[in-house]
Amino acid sequence: MPPLANPWLLLKKWSTMEAMPSKYFPPPAESTPDGLVAVGGDLSPQRLLDAYRHGIFPWPIYEEDLMLWWSPDPRAILPLDGLYISQRLRRTLRSGKFEITCDQAFAKVIASCASGPGREGGTWLTEEMVAAYTRLHELGHAHSIEVWHEEKLAGGTYGIAIGGVFAAESMFFRVRDASKVALAHLVAHLNERGFLLLDVQQWTPHTSRLGVVEISRDEYLDRLATAVKLPVTFGKILEGTQ
């Protein structure tokens, strides 16, 4: 049996090819100044995956039941070698206080993200959004990291994996530092699996303290075009350590 082709050589070849246009959306460069690409449309797996492959994500106006699709400029990412871990968080990670799993309680994680602190009066994670991402999880595209304390769900995060890009969608905590623990384990896992890009969509003062930076949309799309073609997968077992 002949040896398999070197995937990194294939990636180099693929990265020089022009990206295929979206089936559902105009190019992000045609967005409004605040990054709005399109209005309306369903949340089918095909449309959602197409959106993420082209640097677009849904963010509805829940009060008006209006689905909006965005590709902001600049774009926020967390460099996979740039996560800031404080001494306190490092001690927590080493303490054994939490148990960490992946893809064991996706429904509970996304429900908790929708109803976490500060979201009691409404959330962009509508019932329609929750159902759509749960369907992506069932199809193997959406994944969660769960943090457990005393056998109860204490925190977590979830997102979409396509090739070597992970689009982190939301996180929550019920016990101090549990969401940061989830993020630390997610980053370690992505590094171990060979991912290249961790998208967090929008910069905030809070995420900046974790190492999140902004890059131009053009640079993000260039990185995305390479990352989505990587022959890697999220896997079924949590890997890496912090």
For the segment(s) 7-70, the CATH number from 3.40.50.2000, 2.60.120.590, 3.30.70.3550, 2.40.50.140 is 3.30.70.3550
Ordered DSSP codes for 36-81: EEEE-----HHHHHHHHHTT-EE--BGGGTB-EEE--SSEEE--TT
Residues in the chain: 242
> In this structure, what are the phi and psi dihedrals at residue 82, rounded to the nearest 5 degrees?
-120, 10
93 close to 242: Cβ distance less than 8 angstroms: yes
Instruction: Tell me how far apart the alpha carbons of residues 108 and 60 are, in angstroms, rounded to a whole number.
Output: 21
Please determine, for residue 238, whether its predicted confidence score (pLDDT) is greater than 50.
yes
pLDDT band at 140 (very low <50, low <70, confident <90, very high): very high
> In this structure, what are the phi and psi dihedrals at residue 201, rounded to the nearest 5 degrees?
75, -65
Instruction: Tell me how far apart the alpha carbons of residues 136 and 31 are, in angstroms, rounded to a whole number.
Output: 26
What is the percent of the chain where pLDDT is above 70? 87
17 alpha-carbon distance from chain centroid: 25
DSSP three-state, residue 212:
coil
pLDDT band at 122 (very low <50, low <70, confident <90, very high): very low
pLDDT at 65: 76
- Per-residue H/E/C for 100-123: EEECCCHHHHHHHHHCCCCCCCCC
Read off the pLDDT of residues 22-76 as tens digits, 9 standing for 90 and up.
999 999 999 999 999 999 999 999 999 999 999 999 999 866 678 999 999 999 9
pLDDT at 241: 64
Closest CA to 183 of 73, 191, 228: 191
What is the percent of the chain where pLDDT is above 90? 82
The pLDDT of 177-204, averaged and rounded, is 96
For residues 118 and 174, the model is more confident at 174
- Residue ranges, comma separated, of all CATH 3.30.70.3550 domains in the chain are 7-70
pLDDT at 13: 44
Residue 87 CB neighbours (<10 A): 7
Tell me how many degrees the CA angle 29-158-31 measures, rounded to the nearest 5.
Answer: 10
Beta strand 197-201 with 165-173 is: parallel
Q: What is the CA radius of gyration of the chain?
A: 18
Q: Which residue has the tokens 């082709």?
A: 5
CATH number at 75-227: 3.40.630.70
Closest CA to 181 of 96, 65, 56: 96
Read off the pLDDT of residues 65-117 as tens digits, 9 standing for 90 and up.
789 999 999 999 999 999 999 999 999 999 999 999 999 999 999 999 998 65
Please determine, for residue 161, whether its predicted confidence score (pLDDT) is greater than 60.
yes
> In this structure, what are the phi and psi dihedrals at residue 106, rounded to the nearest 5 degrees?
-55, -45
Please determine, for residue 125, whether its predicted confidence score (pLDDT) is greater than 80.
yes
- Residue ranges, comma separated, of all CATH 3.40.630.70 domains in the chain are 75-227
pLDDT at 124: 76
Please determine, for residue 236, whether its predicted confidence score (pLDDT) is greater than 70.
yes
First to last CA, the chain: 39
What is the pLDDT of the chain when averaged over all its residues?
A: 90
